[in-house]
């Protein structure tokens, strides 16, 4: 675990969290924040979302959070990332930040985020400790298949895995042991030697493993050619987000049924809804065909909204299905 004395040092340790849509990045981030709190460490957090809003903002109350919205941290809003890093530098003395966590979108290329962090203007202030990559064990083989995935998605997964200093093979409870062994083998082929793979449920991993300083300058072997290759090529340009507002009160089973009937191009869903059962507002997460709910304690400022993320989404078709399913409730 990071020692409190780190706050007296010049450089702030940085942990990057990457992984494809729905792999469990935010869950791991929240687990890390719990550990920081228990050890009286003050984190700074940079959250990046493809959509116009972050429907998980309520999870980070009373934290020093900067949200980079409506774009991918590694390309379309890279200048915003630099501006945000500059803000943290300017506030270091008064905020006493002990560690910085960066969570990219599910379609971010970690190599390009790393390139920004290792820029000469930041090396005196930040020190990259680890590049944590999450992989959804239940979806990995499908995303790797030429029959059910695009070249863009396959390339992105490779970038997220090959750049990792530690891999969390998550959602292992959703797959059989034989599949898990196959997935682990394919991931191992894309990793540098010595990079550990931890099999996890809900991103739970021993703290000492997660907070080790795993990155060193030797990891810079030949990344430059890869990074420059991607600078002017937004390899995930086909992945976009659809926001639906003014949601009616919905039954849990009704929402689940509708989400599971959506086109396979929808890879991820999340949002805030008001359920008929139990009353009140809930945060929902939909990925890997699984729908999870969590009650929101303070809902005084909450507005129901839904974000769907996918590849080449037919927004008109999805909205038509939405209004046809929930139209009687909307009136």
For the segment 301-325, what is each residue's pLDDT rounded down to a tens digit? 778 899 999 888 899 999 999 998 8
> Is residue 317 included in any domain, yes or no?
yes
Q: Are residues 294 and 178 in the same domain?
A: no
Which pLDDT belongs to residue 226?
45
Which pLDDT belongs to residue 222?
46
Q: Are residues 37 and 169 in the same domain?
A: yes
For residue 218, name the pLDDT band (cuts at 50, 70, 90): low
> Is residue 18 included in any domain, yes or no?
yes
Which pLDDT belongs to residue 2?
63
- CA torsion 232-103-311-254 (nearest 10°) is -160
Which pLDDT belongs to residue 51?
66
Question: Percentage of residues in the chain with pLDDT exceeding 90?
Answer: 47
Residue where a domain terminates, one of 181, 203, 231:
231
Q: Are residues 174 and 323 in the same domain?
A: no
pLDDT by residue (tens digit) across 127-151? 999 999 999 999 999 998 888 888 8
SS3 state of residue 34 = helix
Residue 233 clears pLDDT 50, i.e. is over it: no
Which pLDDT belongs to residue 147?
81
> How buried is 255 (Cβ within 10 angstroms: 0-12 exposed, 13-18 middle, 19+ buried)?
buried
Q: Are residues 260 and 155 in the same domain?
A: no
A 10 A CB-CB count for 175 gives 20
Q: Are residues 321 and 183 in the same domain?
A: no
> Is residue 1 included in any domain, yes or no?
no
Q: Are residues 11 and 79 in the same domain?
A: yes
> How buried is 141 (Cβ within 10 angstroms: 0-12 exposed, 13-18 middle, 19+ buried)?
middle
Question: Percentage of residues in the chain with pLDDT exceeding 70?
Answer: 85
Cα end-to-end span (Å), the chain: 53
pLDDT by residue (tens digit) across 66-75? 888 766 555 5
Separation CA 331–CA 326 (nearest Å)? 9
Residue 215's Cβ-side half-sphere holds a number of Cα atoms within 13 Å equal to 21
Residue where a domain terminates, one of 168, 199, 231:
231
For residue 16, name the pLDDT band (cuts at 50, 70, 90): very high
For residue 90, name the pLDDT band (cuts at 50, 70, 90): confident
SS3 state of residue 94 = helix
Residue 169 clears pLDDT 80, i.e. is over it: yes
Please state the rounded mean pLDDT for residues 160-178: 95
The radius of gyration of the chain's CA atoms, rounded to the nearest angstrom, is: 20
Separation CA 292–CA 18 (nearest Å)? 21
> Is residue 215 included in any domain, yes or no?
yes
**Helices 110-117 and 151-162, packing angle to 10 deg:** 40
Report phi then psi at 110, rounded to 5. -60, -30
For the chain, what's the residue count? Answer: 331
Q: Are residues 138 and 266 in the same domain?
A: no
Checking 173-182 for CB contacts under 8 A at 24+ apart, the result is 173/201, 174/137, 174/138, 174/288, 174/290, 175/137, 175/138, 179/137, 179/141, 180/137, 182/141
Q: Are residues 100 and 153 in the same domain?
A: yes
> 95 Cβ partners below 8 Å, 6+ apart?
42, 44, 64, 88
pLDDT by residue (tens digit) across 20-74? 988 999 999 999 999 999 999 999 999 887 766 777 887 888 888 888 876 655 5
Residue 11 clears pLDDT 60, i.e. is over it: yes
Q: Are residues 119 and 252 in the same domain?
A: no
Residue 115 clears pLDDT 50, i.e. is over it: yes
Residue 238 clears pLDDT 70, i.e. is over it: yes
Q: Are residues 47 and 195 in the same domain?
A: yes
Please state the rounded mean pLDDT for residues 84-90: 89
Q: Residue ranges of the alpha helices (H) in 67-169?
A: 78-95, 110-117, 140-144, 151-162
Separation CA 184–CA 186 (nearest Å)? 6
Please state the rounded mean pLDDT for residues 213-239: 57
- Average model confidence (pLDDT) for the chain? 84
Which pLDDT belongs to residue 91?
80
User: Measured at the alpha carbon of residue 161, what is the angle toward residues 193 and 29, in degrees to the nearest 5?
Assistant: 115
Residue 94 clears pLDDT 80, i.e. is over it: no
Separation CA 19–CA 125 (nearest Å)? 26
Which pLDDT belongs to residue 215?
92
Whole domain around residue 51: which residue ranges?
A: 6-231
């Amino acid at each position: 675990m990071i020692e409190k004395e780190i706050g007296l040092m010049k450089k702030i340790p940085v942990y990057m969290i990457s992984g494809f849509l729905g792999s469990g990045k935010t869950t791991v981030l929240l687990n890390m924040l719990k550990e920081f709190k228990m050890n009286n460490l003050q984190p700074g957090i940079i959250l990046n979302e493809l959509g116009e809003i972050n429907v998980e903002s309520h999870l980070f109350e009373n934290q020093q959070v900067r949200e980079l919205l409506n774009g991918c941290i590694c390309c379309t809003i890279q200048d915003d990332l630099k501006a945000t890093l500059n803000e943290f530098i300017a506030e270091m003395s008064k905020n006493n930040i002990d560690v910085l966590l960066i969570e990219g979108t599910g379609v971010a290329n970690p190599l390009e985020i790393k390139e920004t962090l290792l820029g000469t203007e930041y090396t005196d202030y930040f020190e990259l400790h680890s590049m944590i990559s999450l992989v959804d064990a239940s979806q990995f083989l499908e995303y790797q298949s030429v029959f059910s995935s695009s070249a863009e998605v396959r390339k992105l997964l490779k970038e997220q895995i090959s750049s990792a200093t530690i891999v969390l093979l998550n959602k292992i409870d959703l797959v059989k042991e034989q599949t898990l062994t196959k997935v682990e083998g394919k991931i191992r082929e894309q990793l540098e030697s010595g990079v550990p793979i931890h099999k996890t449920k809900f991103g739970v991993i021993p703290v000492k493993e997660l907070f080790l300083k795993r990155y060193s300058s030797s990891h810079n072997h030949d990344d430059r050619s890869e990074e420059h290759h991607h600078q002017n090529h937004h390899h995930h340009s086909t992945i976009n987000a659809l926001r639906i507002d003014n949601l009616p009160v919905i039954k849990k089973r009704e929402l689940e049924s509708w989400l599971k009937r959506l086109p396979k191009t929808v890879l991820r869903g999340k949002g805030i809804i008001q359920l008929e059962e139990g009353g009140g507002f809930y945060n929902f997460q939909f990925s890997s065909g699984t729908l999870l709910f969590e009650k929101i304690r303070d809902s005084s400022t909450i507005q129901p909204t839904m974000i769907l993320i996918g590849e080449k989404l037919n927004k008109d078709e999805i909205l038509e299905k939405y209004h046809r399913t929930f139209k009687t409730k909307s009136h």
